[in-house]
Amino acid sequence: MFKDFQLIGEHPASIQVKDYIKRLILKGALQAGQKLPSTRELGGLLNVSRNTVIAAYADLEADGFVYVLKGKGSYVAALSGSVSQAAPSWQMDWTARLNGHARMAEQLDLMKHGIRADRGTISFTSIAPDEKLFDLDNVKRAFLDRMSVEGNVLLNYGYAKGYKPLMDYLLRYMDHKGVDLQGKDILITNGFTEGFDLVLSALSRPGGTVICENPTHHTALKNLKLHGFNITGIAMEQGGINLRKLEEALEQRAYDCGYFVPSYHNPTGMVMSPEKRLALMKLMKRYQVPIIEDGFNEELRYSGSHVSPLIAAAGPGNHVIYIGSFSKVLFPGLRVGWVLADRKLIYYLESIKRARTIHTSTLDQSILYQYLVNGNLEKYLKKAKTEYKRKYEWTLQCCEEHIPYTRLTGDGGLHLFVTFPDDFDSRELLEACQKQGVIFTPGDIFFTDGRGRNTMRIGFSRVSDEDIGRGIRIIGETAKQMIGSVGNGNGQHEDE
Ligand SMILES: Cc1ncc(COP(=O)(O)O)c(C=O)c1O
């Protein structure tokens, strides 16, 4: 006995010894009434100091695992609360008990069923920010600043609606985007994804219907499916959604809601033109369909003029639910997003949120708040946008030079979207490229109707310049071999 003990990491040694002895007692290796080795002896056996064992024994005694007989030593206590030996153990088949929701969530889980990257692979699959750009010192300062002001409060329970200073900051932020805040309210969520899930929870019903861009954000599609929505996807064209097709679809049936990503749409990277925004708003009003607007990427504009979010165009109207997130602009590890919408709707969403998660981490919210209020967003954005713009232009140049596309889209953000000729199979291309150490996201996962086999998304934010050049050349050459063409791409880059 005592031979398998090993000190690990920085965890205090006395706690490790205490946990080790406790485990031996709970597993029955040390029996009630058994005398424990003296502190000096155990120290020698475990290769720790005698003081470490003295502290461990004291803690074991305080927790009721050990009792001391004066002048005799420490003994294992009888565990009155332990039922582990008496209770019958059995194995059950959990998979047989799972409901359809759990099964569907697993089936749609791309982290489990998607492409795996071997070490050294050039991966264009991510559209997360480049962590090398993070201004850590300012984040640390924000944390310490806020902790020194109200650390005790931050570590206790907070409020379902959110951390008040952050809510107020974000309301002002949306006001500056031209949003009419009259009659509206805000709810802080764990990123866009939870906000979307909460909204869908409030709006879903058996046979629910949603209309959206096709292709669109994969996680949004996943959540819509998990909420049982029937999804109608409307094709994209230059400048955003095809309005004629949208109108045809709206004419045919009623929809519970529409989901749109007007700026730097994922995956096409398109920015919906102001004309289309206006026409979309008119159509949705005519057919009385509320809009869920995904504003995740708005700030990552490298060129062209500012375009207002749909909720700003709605004026005092209450039919747009705006979901914001700094996940691409700042730090996705701080799981903070927000829903800005009609006050009455937020009132109900707040209750759903409280029932589900109580509230978003106040620590995350307060760090973000202090970071923002210290004026860091503007400084960071300037730096990040310069770097992303440079990478965007380099990726664009590489794609134009090497990839035989029929359409290349992406007006900003962290990715480009490539369309090949109709009969091209990007899954086959992926397989061939993977063997050469390059991967990307096959576009079909973004489609609502199983199409898009001839498309792919190239995320460039976390790939080095050199790898962008090398990776895209490999993709391009492989694609050309598959197509049997030798020339450069003859398609057009849809730049607005
Ligand atoms: C379209 C879209 N919306 C929102 C998000 C951000 O989600 P979250 O805020 O939950 O990280 C992403 C991230 O990739 C996205 O692509």
Query: Which residue lies with its CA nearest to atom 7 of ligand 1?
Result: 192
Q: Is the peptide bond before 267 cis (omega within 30 degrees of 0)?
A: yes
Ligand 1: residues within 6 Å at CB? 127, 191-193, 217, 261, 266, 294, 296, 325, 327, 332, 337
Instruction: Give the position of tokens 């819509």.
Output: 224
Distance, CA 192 to ligand 1 centroid (Å)?
Answer: 6
For residue 128, the ligand 1 atom closest to its alpha carbon is 14
Segment-wise mean pLDDT, segments of 10 residues, the chain, 496 residues? 92 97 95 96 97 98 96 92 71 96 95 87 96 97 97 97 98 97 98 98 97 98 98 96 98 98 95 95 98 90 82 96 95 97 98 98 98 96 94 97 97 94 97 97 97 97 97 98 65 40
- Nearest-angstrom CA–CA distance, 289 and 251: 12
Query: Which residue lies with its CA nearest to atom 4 of ligand 1?
Result: 296
Distance, CA 432 to ligand 1 centroid (Å)?
Answer: 29
- Nearest-angstrom CA–CA distance, 489 and 134: 36
SS3 189: strand
- Nearest-angstrom CA–CA distance, 233 and 211: 6
For residue 190, the ligand 1 atom closest to its alpha carbon is 10
Query: Which residue lies with its CA nearest to atom 14 of ligand 1?
Result: 127
What pLDDT was estimated at residue 354?
Answer: 98
In this structure, the number of other CB atoms found within 10 A of the CB of residue 93 comes to: 7
Distance, CA 294 to ligand 1 centroid (Å)?
Answer: 8
Q: Is the peptide bond before 215 cis (omega within 30 degrees of 0)?
A: yes
Distance, CA 140 to ligand 1 centroid (Å)?
Answer: 24
Q: How many CA atoms lie within 13 A of 302 on its CB side?
A: 22
What pLDDT was estimated at residue 83?
Answer: 56
What pLDDT was estimated at residue 487?
Answer: 44
What pLDDT was estimated at residue 80?
Answer: 75
What pLDDT was estimated at residue 286?
Answer: 98
Mutate to test the pocket of ligand 1, among 127, 224, 259, 266 (most ligand atoms within 8 A of CB): 266
Domains in the chain (CATH in brackets) are: 13-76 (1.10.10.10), 112-132+378-494 (3.90.1150.10), 134-374 (3.40.640.10)
For residue 325, the ligand 1 atom closest to its alpha carbon is 9
Instruction: Give the position of tokens 């194995």.
Output: 91
- Nearest-angstrom CA–CA distance, 482 and 464: 27
For residue 265, the ligand 1 atom closest to its alpha carbon is 1
In this structure, the number of other CB atoms found within 10 A of the CB of residue 267 comes to: 31
Mutate to test the pocket of ligand 1, among 125, 187, 193 (most ligand atoms within 8 A of CB): 193
- Nearest-angstrom CA–CA distance, 419 and 397: 16
Distance, CA 404 to ligand 1 centroid (Å)?
Answer: 29
What pLDDT was estimated at residue 486?
Answer: 41
Predicted model pTM = 0.93
Cα dihedral: 277, 280, 282, 288 (round 10): -140
- Nearest-angstrom CA–CA distance, 468 and 464: 6
Distance, CA 323 to ligand 1 centroid (Å)?
Answer: 10
Instruction: Give the position of tokens 């406790």.
Output: 22
List, in sequence order, every beta strand (DSSP E) within 3-48: none
Mutate to test the pocket of ligand 1, among 194, 263, 328, 365 (most ligand atoms within 8 A of CB): 328
Mutate to test the pocket of ligand 1, among 111, 126, 187, 192 (most ligand atoms within 8 A of CB): 192
| Radius of gyration, CA atoms only, the chain | 28
For residue 261, the ligand 1 atom closest to its alpha carbon is 1
